[in-house]
Homo-oligomer: A and B are copies of this chain.
Amino acid sequence: MKLEQIKTPALMVDLDAMEANLRDMANFFAGRRCKLRPHFKNHKAPILAWRQMRAGAIGITCATVREAEILVEHGIDSILIANEISGAEKPEVLAQLARHASVMVAVDNCHSVRDLAAAQRNRKSQIEVLVDVNIGLNRCGVEPGQAALDLARYATEHGLAVRGIMGYEGHLQAVPPSPERDEVVRRGTKAIVDSAALLETEGISASIRSTGGTGTYAVAGDYAGITEIQAGSYLLMDNIYVSRRAPFQRSLTVLATVISTRGRERAILDCGVKAVSGERGLPILKDVPGAHLTALNAEHAIVELDADSRALTPGQKVEVWVHYSDATVNLHSNMYGVRHGELEEIFPVAH
């Protein structure tokens, strides 16, 4: 297949940029005690998970039981589901996976602990858990310290294998680096490390202390006692992380075709919210100065052109920089890897 044959809208990855990101992150962790367990939810591409493993990752982080299933199917055998699961169905699937791979899961409440314990009894397997502590995001997680210890004890009593502590500072990914922000990051990592120490004092194993994202990996990865980092967006990057000054290159665009124009002022592209997410912000046109993407409909992007912008013509292909990669990759079945204008490889996205 040639680049010209790709039907728009299509998700494109600049291979030079992506490989530079892969290398730069690997270099950061080379020789460090803290290791990278990159998040799968961002790219959802098993091929890319394997490239991260070969670049030194100790395993893969993911968000859902379905993602863990995909990873196990693709031969990854050390997985962290950095998220709570609950109910009857998903713990059963997890307990089955646990017979074939090490799959840790976050816990932050007694209901989930009981659901997981019931599932592992049914499946005769051993589920491993990290106690999730709230380090300021106020989404999931128990309070660090005593509440984390109480839940770890409860999990142990129910036969789950406690492996350590995790906490995700999602609210701090949005803040560009500064001495003040970095100090707040360190307060969160300290709460994780201290909670793990408390568990170990009480005889509960807590050798894994996991945290960090693409905005905070450097600070969290330098903090003594943190053993692994969950960053994932670094590989493909997006406009959000560029605005947060993450030190990686954008690689992800959506290729679109101009399908209609209104004079020189306006062009309509065939990429709407079914092909590129408008959540959190709009994409930006690549290499068309003076052209502004001003709205996304279901199947259309509206582009307004300044008077001195070059004209766009129906049939012409343009690219837009993805604003929010998690939500955009999720809309596609393939990513097209391009180098110097040539299609080099295709990365299937698993759902």
Chain B residue at minimal CB-CB distance from A65:
B7
Q: Is A181 an interface residue (CB 8 A)?
A: no
Given contacts A278-B279, A315-B115, A327-B273, contact A299 B41 (CB under 8 A): yes
Nearest CB of B to A213, in Å:
12
Q: Quick one: which of A248-290 are within 8 Å of B by CB?
A: 257-262, 266, 268, 270, 273-274, 277-279
Chain B residue at minimal CB-CB distance from A93:
B7
Nearest CB of B to A319, in Å:
14
In the complex the two chains form, is A274's CB within 8 Å of B313's CB? no
Q: Is A238 an interface residue (CB 8 A)?
A: no
Nearest CB of B to A322, in Å:
14
Q: Quick one: which of A1-24 are within 8 Å of B by CB?
A: 4-8
Q: Is A122 an interface residue (CB 8 A)?
A: no
Given contacts A4-B88, A260-B140, contact A330 B331 (CB under 8 A): yes
Chain B residue at minimal CB-CB distance from A325:
B298
Q: Is A83 an interface residue (CB 8 A)?
A: yes
Nearest CB of B to A154, in Å:
13
**Cβ contacts under 8 Å, A351 to chain B:** 333
Given contacts A64-B299, A333-B351, contact A259 B86 (CB under 8 A): yes
Q: Is A111 an interface residue (CB 8 A)?
A: yes
Q: Is A128 an interface residue (CB 8 A)?
A: no
**Cβ contacts under 8 Å, A6 to chain B:** 89
Type the 1/0 row for A73-98, where 1 means its CB is closer than 8 Å to any CB of B: 00000000001111111100100000
Q: Is A153 an interface residue (CB 8 A)?
A: no
**Cβ contacts under 8 Å, A51 to chain B:** none
Q: How far is the CA of A88 from the CA of B262 in the complex (A)?
A: 21
Q: Is A108 an interface residue (CB 8 A)?
A: yes
Would you give 23 A-B contacts (Cβ < 8 Å), ordered by A?
Answer: A8-B87, A63-B299, A64-B270, A83-B259, A83-B299, A84-B260, A86-B257, A86-B259, A86-B260, A86-B270, A86-B314, A87-B315, A108-B260, A109-B260, A109-B314, A112-B260, A112-B315, A138-B262, A138-B266, A139-B260, A140-B260, A279-B296, A331-B331
In the A-B complex, list the 9 residue pairs whose CB atoms are closest, starting with the nearest: A111-B314, A84-B259, A140-B260, A86-B315, A86-B314, A298-B326, A63-B299, A274-B330, A87-B315
Binding site for B on A (CB under 8 A): 4-8, 41, 63-64, 66, 83-90, 93, 108-109, 111-112, 115, 134, 138-141, 170, 257-262, 266, 268, 270, 273-274, 277-279, 296-300, 302, 313-315, 317, 326-327, 330-331, 333, 351
